[in-house]
Chain A
């Protein structure tokens, strides 16, 4: 018997057969056609990649279920233009190496109309070129990276939340005015998320006040050396551009060193309910017991949508109602509010795209501008800008929620001035569905 010969032949044959066998579910080859994928007379299918597991999952894993709850609410009220919104979100674990495969699967196998609210700066950066090559609308990315606002390079991509540089400028402006002459330190995620935020802070805070800048890498939960350097700097205020898990790690590491500076945390890393849960869970792993909620009181942050701390707000009332009906098991926190608010914006865009939505049609509709909805500041969407909310409002963690103070501020991500927002928030539609 001629073994290696048979091996080689068998290898080739097996490769072809096995591949053919497990391909499965192949759906009539080729042809996207002119009509829009994912759209039927009665439904529209959209997809998303989300960190349902992994280091960014605490807090963020509530966003997609909350968005889905809002879509379910719309669907039970007849959908948008008679179409049910089918929302397929899949887990990428906040791992950039998984995002590409999951996204291609959504486009090619699930044939989604658009990618909606895909979460994460490092993750989504891997697929943004691909989505634009394929002319797939890439709507309302769940990240404040500046990179989504680049119409020339990425005509199908739109941001949604306030970008990190605008956020950094507004936080920096507040710090400059309220911590004049004090020592300031930075703690940030070492990727475009953290670096964009630091860029904004540096535009406002005099460099003479900044005593140290410490970065962390996602995935490495040992931040002792950064915490020691922060403590050694004896800064009065530490500004942190971090995801919730690292905000909690920072707080605990500083606590261990007996160093208790004032904290200012970017919106994405400051949800109070998420933070107190994480603090208690991490402390428990380390064999200690802390009261998470007590530890985070007074943290300075910012927000660009109405806060659960304001129960009289019409949007909070609407979303609370949907929350109680569809996802009562999840806490009614900033993440849930975020998910519902971004889903509302999608519903606005879909409505504006008309009775027969196409991929190019929805892009045009967003470029015509969208109402701010539950936001406290307007969107920047126009034919030249694909950036989302244009500002934010300073807030302080009080109890279980962020209490927004002062007036919402707006600015751009360049050298533009910071000015109070002139727009007033509309009240929520009485039936909860965007008016046409």
Chain B
């Protein structure tokens, strides 16, 4: 394989485990749930939504507000971890797909205000579809590119797309740097204005986790892993390597688009400033720091980067009594750089991988 050295994730023991045949003992232990992946995942998703509902209701308004951006990052990070961890491609431009989703959402949903809480589902779906189409276009090109060339092409996308809003002809529709305003979702009885958008975002995350977990265990997920691990072997087995790669880009971009729509909802605005190159790099940092190729890694990594970018960096500069806003703005990128290098050197499995390794060490050897 040509780009072996460029794959960010050298080895994921969990993936190998997932391909291992089921043992009889585990089948016994889990009974009916073990026979149906779908049923099992659905059960977890329902329990998850209930837990998150409790969480949102019990947190204070300021805590819920701090969490507001997290669902958007989680959705995009799930998409990115699918692309990078599962199909072995890379994207330094996922912020651009988020932007496509955000603008699609911001252009459509404000016009559908008759039953905003129902039409929001349609607007989310539109955001996913339009950004998935963008992903298909990029994916076709991506399937011909390898390693640094693919990284460069997607980076160019992240740099170029936000400046499209400055175009004279487009700016009357996209409102230039000011961007499009997004109304807030009217909260139903029992929710306040902070809880409701957060809960909407969290539901989206659970649905996406459910879908992606199923996808990873399906034939599609296996084909992606096969293509990632050895393209020649995969094509000899009858898989269309470019087809699988494009499909990974489509799904991944679609998820990023949903993340973008959630970001627009949380910011009440879709504007180019939110989709800078920094966002794309932050997403990559989130999936690598969290644990590449793992869904819980994408979740942990997203929580980490949102808190660091928006809160901890400010707290840190305050604690060091650095008053310049420029330091607080650039500190997260510096930290990501250091953490990415460290993760590659000492903890290729990221936070989640390291925790798993620790748990494995703590277990008595068999």
Instruction: List chain A positions with a Cβ less than 8 A from chain B.
Output: 1-5, 7-12, 14-16, 18-20, 22-30, 52-53, 91, 93, 95-101, 104-105, 108-109, 122, 125-127, 129-130, 133-134, 190-192, 215, 217-220
Contact = CB atoms under 8 A, between A and B. Distances in A.
A190 B17 CA distance: 57
A4 B179 contact: no
A231 B18 CA distance: 68
Shortest beta-carbon contacts, A-B, top 7: A97-B274, A23-B63, A122-B178, A95-B273, A3-B18, A12-B48, A109-B62
Contact of A108 (B40, B65, B326, B328): B65
Contacts of B149: none
A100 B296 CA distance: 29
Given A7-B294, A8-B295, A29-B60, A219 B272 contact: yes
A18 B303 contact: yes
Nearest to B178: A122
B240 interface: no
Contact of B267 (A3, A100, A220): A100
Nearest to A22: B307
Contact of A20 (B30, B55, B69): B55
Interface in B183-237: 183-184, 193-194, 202, 205-206, 209-210, 213, 216-217
B186 to A, nearest CB: 11
Given A12-B44, A191-B178, A97 B271 contact: yes
B26 interface: yes
A217 B177 contact: yes
B296 A19 contact: no
B246 interface: no
A22 B303 contact: yes
Nearest to B16: A3
B18 A19 contact: no
B193 A133 contact: yes
B58 A29 contact: yes
B62 A25 contact: yes
A114 to B, nearest CB: 18
Nearest to B23: A1
Interface of B: 14-15, 17-18, 20, 22, 26, 30, 34, 37, 40-41, 44-45, 47-48, 51-52, 55, 58-63, 65-70, 74, 163, 165-166, 168, 171, 175-179, 181, 183-184, 193-194, 202, 205-206, 209-210, 213, 216-217, 266-274, 294-296, 299-300, 303-304, 307, 310-311, 325-326, 328-329, 352
A125 B183 CA distance: 12
A122 B303 contact: no
Given A18-B303, A26-B60, A3 B273 contact: no
A2 B34 contact: yes
Contacts of B44: 5, 8-9, 12
Nearest to B221: A4
6 contacts: A12-B48, A23-B60, A26-B60, A26-B62, A101-B266, A190-B176
B61 A53 contact: no
Nearest to A3: B18
Contact of A97 (B47, B176, B179, B216): B179
A3 B17 contact: yes
Nearest to B217: A4
Nearest to A20: B55
A145 to B, nearest CB: 11
A218 B22 CA distance: 58
B210 A8 contact: yes
Contact of B299 (A3, A11, A28, A53): A11
B267 A27 contact: no
Contact of A220 (B26, B66, B163, B273): B163
Given A19-B59, A29-B59, A219-B176, 10 more contacts: A7-B213, A8-B48, A12-B206, A22-B66, A22-B307, A23-B60, A91-B328, A100-B269, A192-B178, A218-B178
A12 B40 CA distance: 14
B293 to A, nearest CB: 10
A97 B205 contact: no
A63 to B, nearest CB: 14
A182 to B, nearest CB: 27
B77 to A, nearest CB: 11
Contacts of A26: 59-60, 62-63
Contact of B166 (A24, A99, A219): A219
Contact of B268 (A95, A130, A190, A215): A130
A11 B295 contact: yes
Nearest to B41: A8
